[in-house]
A = this chain, B = another copy of it.
Amino acid sequence: MSKGKTKKNEYSEKKPPDEFLRVVPLGGLGEIGKNMMIMEYVTRTSHDSIIIDTGIMFPDNDMLGIDLIIPDFAYIMDRLDTIRGVIITHGHEDHTGAIAHVMEHVHAPVYATAMTRGLLEVKLDNAHLLDQVTLVTIQAGDRIKMGPFLVEFFHVCHSIPDSVGLGITTPVGLVVHTSDYKIDHTPVDNWPTDFGKLTDFSQRGVLALFADSTNADVPGWTTSESVIDEALDDIFVKAPGRIIVATFASLISRVQQVANAAQRHGRKIAVQGYSMVENVKLARSLGYLDIPSSQVVEIGAANNLPNHKVVIMTTGAQGEPLAGLGRLSTGQHNDIEVEEDDTIILSSHPIPGNEEMVYRTINKLIQRGAEVIYDPIAPVHVSGHAAQEEMKLMINMIRPKFMVPVHGELRHLHQHRKMAVDLGIPPENIAVVENGTMLTFTADSMEVGERIPGGYVFVDGTGVGDIGPIVLRDRELLGRDGFVIANLTLDRDTRQIIGEPEFISRGFVYLREAQGLMDGAQDVIIDVLTSDGDTSQRTIRRKIEKQLGKYFYSELKRRPMIFTFINEV
């Protein structure tokens, strides 16, 4: 928007160029998560495309009952026969979560590094799609031709092993996509972001840079993962009993750091929580995680060791009530119970929207007697994303002609844009756009086009896309003040009520203690039935619902949903 706006309608009025590159972000703009993008190369006689990432997004607190959100990929459905490849840059849910939804329809191969592939296989297997999808394992440094696109994978540091960015040579120019990254000079796996490749791209001349904006409002430079080692040492030296570390199940480098600290301080490590156990198994089998078998114990064995000889790694650092830490905090964990000399580390930051749950979990753990350590009490977590100075370095290393900030909320994209302008990229060459906006590139131009229809697709249970704003609005109303249903029987001829109305109500008042209120509601119904006027069922129904609404609001200032059943006999 903003500066791109002036060009908004140019494209649709102009004849398209003879050949062009079109990029449509279907996720990852204007929100955290749900990263997905299609890149098309179109000439008069050909049409080829690739898909980059297939992420999901987790719902906001007020999207009641929604399990997750996937991108609306109707645009891709119209182009199924053009797709030459699906590239997954790393194994996080916001880049992989919709893989089964997409691969149900797309028949191109999926390209991913070994770690990412392992995580994708689980998802595809769960969806009974593993047999029909071609998975190609790539590694950083590989160059793979997908139709007219030559994709070069380069290593980036991020909070999951073996993440890659992309240099994509297309007939109209070279496009660099950073994916999620940070520039850590001392990462846990000693494998820094590939500067050589980035400067190599720069020398070849970069048409467009698509760069991660997640931390665009964080000044400075993201602290290196290695800082955490020191914080862990401090804690391990002081902890009188067990140490329990909760983090993201995918944060394999953190597991490595905790395992290293355990070894330095003579403790055994036990891993707990389904997703973390699975990820650790995968990472160890692929060599991403280096823990001697003698260091690892089962949770049962750990419980038989002296407390000061044990570290337990678990999930639930975002306060999820059903994950490891959540269950510990409420005493509902099957294998572990909080003890007075436990030291519990939350090696994570709350994702916006999760703060309340995270702090509640911390409070409950303290209530059970544990010492709880979290940032800022000690530097036990660092972000996996570049901060402002790293973003500036990225822009200056690449020096692209055009730039598209991606990954992050609108406020992050906007802040990223401001940095790029400060670094000399002309404002009109930067596109801050929302998902679904068509960006059209030629060798020397970028046009911000129209926005394709579509947006969110809500997934609730097994229903994909059947929940829309009306159902969500009803859930909001029900969640706020509940409902009341009156069921009454009328004499068909006299229109007199037979017996007493029956009420069902939930989420409104505690009925057992609201006898007086419901007596009043009965009176309201009788009043309506004995008043003059139209006695059709529909009219009576509407009148009762209206009068009951008024009555409850005047009594309690609450607005439950109200329904009436009328049975005539």
Distance in angstroms from A503 CB to nearest chain B CB is 11
A458-482 vs B, CB cutoff 8 Å, 1 = contact: the mask equals 0011110011101100111111111
- Which of under 10, 10 to 19, 20 to 34, or 35 or more describes the interface residues of A? 35 or more
Contacts known (A489-B567, A510-B468); A411 close to B359, Cβ less than 8 A: yes
A264 to B460, CA, bound (A): 55
- A267 on the B face (CB < 8 A): no
B561 touches A506 (CB 8 A): yes
Contacts known (A355-B355, A363-B409); A471 close to B482, Cβ less than 8 A: yes
- A453 on the B face (CB < 8 A): no
- A136 on the B face (CB < 8 A): no
Task: Pick the interface stretch among A60-68, A99-107, A151-159, A194-202.
Answer: A60-68
A372 touches B1 (CB 8 A): no
Contacts known (A217-B376, A558-B461, A561-B506); A466 close to B359, Cβ less than 8 A: no
- A369 on the B face (CB < 8 A): yes
Distance in angstroms from A235 CB to nearest chain B CB is 14
Interface centre among A218, A353, A415, A513 (most CB of B within 10 A): A353
- A288 on the B face (CB < 8 A): no
B377 touches A415 (CB 8 A): yes
A481 touches B65 (CB 8 A): yes
A272 to B483, CA, bound (A): 36
> What chain B residues lie within 8 Å of A456 (beta carbons)?
none
Chain B residue with the shortest CB-CB distance to A469? B510
Interface centre among A477, A506, A513, A556 (most CB of B within 10 A): A506
Distance in angstroms from A301 CB to nearest chain B CB is 29
B478 touches A483 (CB 8 A): yes
Contacts known (A415-B377, A481-B65, A507-B475); A356 close to B367, Cβ less than 8 A: no
- A504 on the B face (CB < 8 A): yes
- A292 on the B face (CB < 8 A): no
Contacts known (A363-B30, A369-B1, A502-B565); A463 close to B411, Cβ less than 8 A: no
B467 touches A372 (CB 8 A): no
One of B61, B462, B556 near A463 (C-beta < 8 A): B556
> What chain B residues lie within 8 Å of A470 (beta carbons)?
510
A509 to B470, CA, bound (A): 9
- A485 on the B face (CB < 8 A): yes
Q: How many copies does the complex hold?
A: 2
A357-369 vs B, CB cutoff 8 Å, 1 = contact: the mask equals 0011011001101
> What chain B residues lie within 8 Å of A219 (beta carbons)?
376
- A508 on the B face (CB < 8 A): yes
A565 to B564, CA, bound (A): 11
- A515 on the B face (CB < 8 A): no
- A569 on the B face (CB < 8 A): yes
A513 touches B466 (CB 8 A): yes
- Secondary structure type dominating chain A contacts: mixed
Distance in angstroms from A557 CB to nearest chain B CB is 3
B479 touches A476 (CB 8 A): yes
- A414 on the B face (CB < 8 A): yes
- A391 on the B face (CB < 8 A): no
A101 to B462, CA, bound (A): 47
Chain B residue with the shortest CB-CB distance to A502? B565
Within 8 A of B (CB), among A1-18: 1-2
A541-569 vs B, CB cutoff 8 Å, 1 = contact: the mask equals 00000000000000111100101010101
A461 to B552, CA, bound (A): 10
A510 touches B567 (CB 8 A): no
B410 touches A363 (CB 8 A): yes
B352 touches A353 (CB 8 A): no
B363 touches A352 (CB 8 A): no
- A530 on the B face (CB < 8 A): no
A187 to B504, CA, bound (A): 57
A308 to B567, CA, bound (A): 66
B352 touches A466 (CB 8 A): no
A30 to B567, CA, bound (A): 52
One of B217, B461, B471, B565 near A565 (C-beta < 8 A): B565
> What chain B residues lie within 8 Å of A218 (beta carbons)?
376
Within 8 A of B (CB), among A429-478: 434, 460-463, 466-468, 470-471, 474-478
A482 touches B475 (CB 8 A): yes
26 contacts between A and B (CB under 8 A): A1-B369, A61-B61, A64-B507, A65-B558, A219-B376, A372-B411, A461-B557, A461-B558, A462-B556, A462-B557, A466-B513, A468-B510, A471-B510, A475-B478, A475-B480, A475-B506, A477-B506, A477-B507, A478-B483, A478-B507, A479-B479, A483-B483, A487-B567, A502-B565, A565-B565, A567-B567
5 nearest A-B pairs in the assembled complex, by CB-CB distance: A479-B479, A461-B557, A478-B478, A475-B507, A65-B480
